[in-house]
Amino acid sequence: MFKGSIVAIATPFKNGRIDETALKKLVEFQIKNGTSGIVPCGTTGESPTLSTAEHERVIELCIKFSNKRVPIIAGTGSNSTEEAISLTKHAAQAGADAALIVSPYYNRPTQRGLYLHFKAIADSVDIPIILYNIASRTGVNIEPATMQKLAVECKNIVGVKEASGSLEQMATIKNLCGDDFILLSGDDTLTLPLLGIGGVGVISVVANIVPKDTAELVTAFEKGDVKKAQKLHNKLLPLVKAMFLETNPIPVKTAMGLMGLCSGDLRLPLCEMSEENLTKLKKTLRDYGLLKNK
């Protein structure tokens, strides 16, 4: 159920508020272009700057707008276990198909603390849980042995979004946690390599602007057309790199604004791109065929 190209959808803002009309259009854009699932309120969705009410509203709207056409994997992580439980319970009650739980950030728990944190959340709901491992943002890595313990002891912890950058770690997770444990790339540059070691898809940033190509890459690999998958990987690579000219989601949100998908508005402490990086982004978008005369 949770495989293919899954978009970490951006949260559109207008005049400082959530632009619900634009969010509906983004959901339709994704589904129309072959996206296999939607993650609201992740890093790309600027979840740290959403109030609790806004966070819950975005999840509810994505569930409503998707109307069961694709699974909704609600981002409900927090550095507070109590808050994460509350957000995850809300997502389950609202009808989310699963929850994506980032490891606690800033407070840097031990591996036992991580285990107890995720277990407490998993025990509080019945919906599937996908862990999100991104030490570059959180300050702590979920070690493969910790994932194995969680996968064995918590039947609704079904997979991980791996953004460690280490294919060796990803392969170790696959070996320890078994074939049924869902391994998703958390890095667009590693989608193809991850598929090669048994991964089943990606939770993607770049899919916000090129959902069709991202979806076709995974589909081509699944069908055994490795050459097509490689061609798409190479085509996407410059665009993916441009999405990280500055902190995500600054570039992708800016690109979405330039393409007319939604406003490029960000919430502080995220701010507009530097002129130098904006020029680079525009050139990459033009080279890809996404932008004309801007």
User: What does the domain layout of the chain look like in residue ranges?
Assistant: 4-223
Q: Which residue has the tokens 């995500």?
A: 248
Q: Which residue has the tokens 């994997």?
A: 73
Q: Which residue has the tokens 């441009």?
A: 242
Give tens-digit pLDDT for 72-99: 999 999 999 999 999 999 999 999 999 9
Confidence (pTM): 0.95
Burial environment of residue 56 by CB neighbours within 10 A (0 to 12, 13 to 18, 19 or more): buried
Active site residues: 132, 161
133 — pLDDT class (breaks 50, 70, 90): very high
- Taking a C-beta distance cutoff of 8 angstroms, is the pair 215, 4 a contact? yes
Give tens-digit pLDDT for 105-128: 999 999 999 999 999 999 999 999
Question: Three-class SS of residue 139?
Answer: coil
CA–CA distances in Å: residue 189 to residues 31, 147, 264? 22, 23, 24
Q: What is the assigned CATH class of domain 4-223? A: alpha beta
Q: How far apart are the first and last CA of the chain?
A: 39
- Taking a C-beta distance cutoff of 8 angstroms, is the pair 98, 40 a contact? no
Give tens-digit pLDDT for 173-206: 999 999 999 999 999 999 999 999 999 999 999 9
